[in-house]
Structure formats: structure tokens, C-alpha cells
A and B are shown apart, each in its own frame.
Chain A
Amino acid sequence: MTALVLMPNDFAPAAAPAIDPVVDPLRALALAARDGETLAFTKLYERTRDQAWRVLYRVVGNSPDLEDLLQESYLQLMRALKSYRGESRVSTFLHRVCVNVGLMHLRSRRRRPEDATDEVPESAGPDSGDPERAAQIKQAANLVQRALSTMSAEKADVFVYHDLLGLKPEEISELVECPVNTVRSRLNRARVDFTVAVSRFKVAGGAP
């Protein structure tokens, strides 16, 4: 299985396309934060936290660990900033960090089944008046997370980007740094794995 540990040079790929600073206004903040301006990092967090939250929520669902995962994502970003050269898009990198942190969390939870039964925190959960519907939603989220945790990192990444976050193959290609055709083939294989996993878990635990 491919390691999902972020390496420092993840943040500054050699062949990264030139970033138009007008398109990526976070770049200036990231550079200021890299140079030791803590206020800039705070601002970076304030401007990107909603995006990070959406990605994490989509990957790990309504988990009580979301707060820790959000913090962990930004800590990884903070560490990576030290080698940031301003050549890659900050939001892209944050996207990737959040997906990785979320998937790592799902895998670690799979290894520790006693932690797998997360209670839904009331503050962040969707408010549904229908208990049956709420149970269905919860079970579906649980199925997706279990299926993701069984997939290889490469496939899970592409699947999350495309089918959970709605990114286009071209955008995913930039995120995972591989050709668009590779993204498409990975996506197909990921869908096969996902379908198989969901069918298996449905049989084991009842359909949503």
C-alpha cells in the first residue's frame, strides 16, 4: 500500500505549473507564514478552514474526531510551509492534506474496531426529523467510510476527489500529479473496489 505520509517536497513539486498569484491569493499568506509571521498563518487558517472542513467531513463523516483532524491537517500544512517555495497552489495542497489525514484516520479506525462506533456530535450533524432516515444516512456514511478504509491509497484518493468531492479528472490530475488518463483508469478501478466493498458490508451489516 502506498504510504500516505506527506514528504516535505510534496508541497513544491519540481514540475509544478507556474501559479498565477491573482488566482491563488493564499500564496502571499503562505509565504508570509513561512517567513515566521504567525498572524499570516492565522489568516490562512481563517480563509481556508471551511474548505478543509468540507473535505474532512466528506471523508470521515460526522465524527467526534473532526476537530482533531482539522487541527492535524493545519499542523501538517504548517510543517510543510517551511519548504514552500510559492510554486504550488496552497488550496490544492490543503485539499490533499485533508484527504490524506481523513483517509489515514479511517484506516487507523479500521485497525482499532473498538473506536469505530462514533457518536454523532450534535453541534455538527445534519438535523433530520425522521429517525429512520437519519439511521439510513448514518449507515450509508458508515458504509462509505468502511469501504474507503479498505481501498488502496491511490484509488481512495481519486475516488474521494471525484465521487465525494466532485472534482473533475483534470483537477484531480493536478492534485495527484499524474496524467488525466491515469486518473480515469484509477477511478474505474476504485469504483470496482468500492462497489465490491459496499456489497460485502451490506450483506454483513444490512442494507441502508
Chain B
Amino acid sequence: MSHLSHEELWEFAQRADAAPAQVPEHLAECDACSDALADIQGAQHVLALLPPVPELPKAMALRVGEALAEKADASLLRSPLRSWFAQLFAPRLVLACAAVLLAVVAAALYARGQSQVPPPPELAVATPAPTPVAEPAPVPPLAPAPEVPATKTLTASVATASRASSQKKPVQKAQRLEQGTTVATEAKGSLWLNLPDGSRAGLTSSSQLTLAKLEAKALDLNLQQGSVALDVPHRAERLLTVTAGVVTVKDLGTRFLVSKNDAHVLVAVQEGEVEVVTPNSTQVVKAGHAVSWHDGRLDILNWDTGEKPREAAPAKASPSKLHDDDDEQAAAQPAPAVEPEAEAAENETAENDDDEEPVQVTPAPGESSADEWVLPQQVKSPKTPAHVPVVKAKRRGLFNLTVLEEKLEELTRAFAGVPLRESLVKSIARAVDHADCAHALVMADAWLRDPVTSLIDEPKWRRSVLTQKLRCFTAQGRTQEALDVKRELDGP
């Protein structure tokens, strides 16, 4: 019998019991095969000694992620001009240019060899008269070099725009927006911006946002009104903040929404966490939660489950306090992230948190089951499954702003309906107290236009709003309108 093959010996070393009977018989007689088997067993022993692979260290994962994010910015987000310029130096073009140059040189040399005839005498002696050399124009003094800013400012770009404007001019797709630019959306408008760090900001309708700071290490967005949704990769070396009135939201790596109107500022977090800084407190808000700042108070709401706040505490002007904490503690020091049961709910969410699946928002009874973070479907790729998240159709944004707005309205109605309605009344009164009648009248008209008849205090609040209107009209000398309001107040 010939020697056993290496393959047979390897299999035998792995599973001796499964080997054919003649293999051990042969090994008993053949020293060469026995020696080969010993070597194989040694090799397999070495393989078996290899330790299990440990977990990827988190710090390393973060460091690599941050380094890659920077490279991705540089590599994937190159300007069209730069990539066009780079194309000029593609090997094919360089070779083609070299070939053309070689051909031209060869043709010139050939032509020179053919025309070794001396030129005609008149041409040979026709030396042109020297041209008088003009006096050189005095060189203007160099303008002083512009001061280089200490920190390099960057630009944002428009990803998609619909009924959106910047400085009262419609914005165009791919338009560059400098630091300090204010962008606004009309009713039913929307705007997605690519921020210089790779983050994306989406403005819902009737919103206004200023790109207050666009620097490599600091991005500040100032939301004047409306809502902005953000999808932000966390980077330790860069701080992204959104300012909405007196509330500042600091990104800690997340998807979140900031919404501001006259009465309140709402911050809702879908993924990751943000830090919300108010004049009185600092609150870390984690995924699935939202906070509402109104009347000097920060209330925690449950964004995911649709649970209402525990109680609609009466609004207090000061001191501000967190909804779930003890008075002094809340006012004195930053509060913990979320309450325990909320934490548990969040953990459940986190366990199922696979970015490939859009996070399903459990609808409250009576609410629609719309998922506000559902991404737009790919238009041109029917093969793409509906659940694949980061797919953009024609470079659309990562969130569906329309659905997000609907969710926001639901949230306003479901969670903050009562306090919001009440706080609006107070805002109107405050505006009148500060002699800001124009603003107060706009708010009052908006308040009266959308009555909520189911609320017990609605008639009382309505009288209060009408009273403020009356004060305004009286102060402005609008007698007829004041009389109309008075009649309405005195009516049944």
C-alpha cells in the first residue's frame, strides 16, 4: 500500500474515529506516515491553542471611528471642483497627454529635418527695429494681507430644499451656506443641510435656523422657530450645539429633534443622548425620551411610548425645577439622565436597537403608528428592502420630516396639550406686560383660532386671552376692535 496522503492524515488527526479502518492499520506499519501524522498533530495542537478572540476594546473602536470619520470627510465629501481637478491627473489622461506631446515633438523634429534650406536673403536680414521699451508702470503698493482667522470656518451645503430660503432668496440644492447664514422654510416647506462634519440637519416647515458657528471643532445652530431634526455622529473633538431660546442642546452622538415655539422648547431624542442646558439645570436626555422647557420648568416626556407626563404641575416662573426630582436637588445640581422606569424602557429599546431596523414607535391609543424616523424609500431601486434605514432617494435626508412634524403635533397634543395651552396664555400675558402687543396679538389670534373644547379650563383661558387682546387694542388706540373684544367678553 502506498503512503497516506496529507489530506487523509489531517482528517485522521482531526477525527480518528471517522477514518477508514485501513488508515490505522497502515500507520501501525509505516514509520514515514506515523512521523507525518505526528507533525500534523503538532500543527493542529498549535491551532487549538489559539485563544478566543476578545471583544474589540471600546476605546480603540472610538479612536478608529473618529479617525475614519475625519478621513471620510476628506475623502467622500470632496468638492466637485476638486474631484474634477483630480481627474486631470488620472493615469489614462496623463498617458494620453504624454503620447500627444511625444507625437508633437516627433513631428516637429521631422519637420525641422525637412526644412534645412537657408532662408531667402530678404528674410534673413530683415531684423525688426528695436521696439522702444515703455517705462514700467509703477507697481501699486501691496494691499495688506487679509487677517487669517484663528479658527478655520467651514460651510454647510444644501442637500434638498423645498420652499426654503436664505436671506429672502430661495436656496438651491448644493448651495454653500456660510457661517452666520439664516435659513428659513415656509409652510409645507422643508430643508436638509449637510453640515461640514458629516452631520445632517433637517428643518421642518415654518422653521428658521441660523448657522451661528461652523468651525472644525464647534458647530452651533440657533433655532429661532420651528423644528430641526439632527443626525449627528459623535466626535469627541467636535461639539455640536443647538440653541433654542434659553435652552442649549449639546450633542452626545445621536439623532434628535429640537422644536421651539413661543411657549416651549421641546427636545426629543431618538438615538444616543443629548445634554440639555437650561438657565437652571442640565439634563442628559437619552434615547426614547424628550424634555419640554416651558415656564421656567423642564418636564420629562416619553417620546417612544406616548405616556403622558405624570402630572401637569402648575407652571412656576421660578425657580425652575425638573419634573421628577426633588426641588432643591434639581435646582442645585445637574440631574441624572432619566428616571429608573424610563431607563428600563430605554434599555429594552437599546437591546433591540439595530440601526438596520427603524425604531418602531409604539403608538398611544388613538395615535397613528407612523414612525417618524422612517427613512425615505429608494425610488429607483425596487430591490432595496423597506427596512433598510440609511438609503436616500436622490440624496434625500435620513428622516421623513413630514412624518416627524405629524409626530410632533401628536406629541404636543398628547403630552403637553394642557400645559402648552396654559403656558401660551401666560406667554401672551407676559408679552402684553412687556408692551410687545404686536407679538401678543399674533399669539392670541393663533390661540383663539385653534380652540380645544375638551379642556375644562379652556373658557377661563379664553377670557384671559381676550382680556389681553383688549389691553393691547386699548393701548394701541384701536377703539373699534377693543369694543368688539369687550362685547365678546361680556357675551354669553
Q: Is the CB of B73 within 8 A of A47?
A: no
The docked-state distance in angstroms from the alpha carbon of A207 to that of B41 is 12
Evaluate whether A124 and B54 lie within 8 angstroms (CB atoms) in the complex, with A22-B385, A46-B65 already known.
yes
**Cβ distance B469 to chain A, nearest Cβ, rounded Å:** 47
Chain B residues within 8 Å of A144, by CB: 46-47, 50
Chain A residues within 8 Å of B63, by CB: 67
Chain B residues within 8 Å of A4, by CB: none
Interface of A is mostly: helix
**Cβ distance B309 to chain A, nearest Cβ, rounded Å:** 33
Enumerate the 10 nearest inter-chain pairs by beta-carbon distance, A residue then B residue, closest first: A38-B198, A140-B49, A53-B56, A28-B388, A38-B72, A126-B51, A28-B391, A195-B43, A41-B72, A198-B43
Interface string of B230-242 (1 = CB under 8 A from A): 0101000000000
Interface string of B182-209 (1 = CB under 8 A from A): 0000000000000000111000000000
Is residue A29 contacting chain B, with contact meaning CB distance below 8 A? yes
The docked-state distance in angstroms from the alpha carbon of A125 to that of B43 is 23
Instruction: Look across to chain B and name the residue whose beta carbon is closest to the beta carbon of A81.
Output: B76
Is residue B60 contacting chain A, with contact meaning CB distance below 8 A? yes
A49-64 residues with Cβ-Cβ distance < 8 A to B are 49-50, 53-54, 57-58, 62
Of A69-77, A101-109, A171-179, the stretch lying at the interface with chain B is: A69-77
Q: Is the CB of A49 within 8 A of B198?
A: no
Cross-interface CB contact of A41 among B54, B64, B76, cutoff 8 Å: B76
A71-128 residues with Cβ-Cβ distance < 8 A to B are 71, 74-75, 78-79, 81, 123-126, 128
The docked-state distance in angstroms from the alpha carbon of A194 to that of B42 is 11
Q: Is the CB of A35 within 8 A of B6?
A: no
Q: Which residues of B come within 8 Å of A, CB atoms?
A: 6-7, 10, 39-40, 42-43, 45-47, 49-57, 59-61, 63-65, 67-69, 71-73, 75-78, 198-200, 231, 233, 355-356, 378, 381, 383-385, 387-392, 395, 398
Evaluate whether A137 and B65 lie within 8 angstroms (CB atoms) in the complex, with A25-B385, A41-B76 already known.
no
**Cβ distance B382 to chain A, nearest Cβ, rounded Å:** 10
Instruction: Look across to chain B and name the residue whose beta carbon is closest to the beta carbon of A29.
Output: B390
Chain B residues within 8 Å of A196, by CB: 39
Q: Is the CB of A47 within 8 A of B231?
A: no
Chain B residues within 8 Å of A28, by CB: 378, 384, 388-391
Listed by A's residue number, 20 A-B pairs whose Cβ atoms lie within 8 Å are A21-B388, A28-B384, A34-B76, A36-B77, A39-B199, A42-B68, A45-B68, A66-B60, A67-B60, A75-B68, A78-B75, A123-B59, A141-B51, A143-B46, A144-B46, A144-B50, A163-B47, A188-B10, A191-B6, A195-B6
Cross-interface CB contact of B68 among A36, A37, A71, A128, cutoff 8 Å: A71
Chain B residues within 8 Å of A39, by CB: 198-200, 231, 233, 390, 398
Q: Is the CB of A195 within 8 A of B40?
A: yes
Chain B residues within 8 Å of A35, by CB: 392, 395
The docked-state distance in angstroms from the alpha carbon of A149 to that of B92 is 35
Chain B residues within 8 Å of A21, by CB: 381, 383-385, 388
The docked-state distance in angstroms from the alpha carbon of A189 to that of B487 is 100
Instruction: Look across to chain A and name the residue whose beta carbon is closest to the beta carbon of B65.
Output: A45
Q: Is the CB of B69 within 8 A of A42?
A: yes
New A-B pairs, 12, CB < 8 Å, besides A32-B391, A144-B46: A41-B72, A42-B69, A42-B233, A50-B56, A74-B68, A137-B49, A144-B50, A191-B40, A191-B43, A196-B39, A198-B43, A208-B45
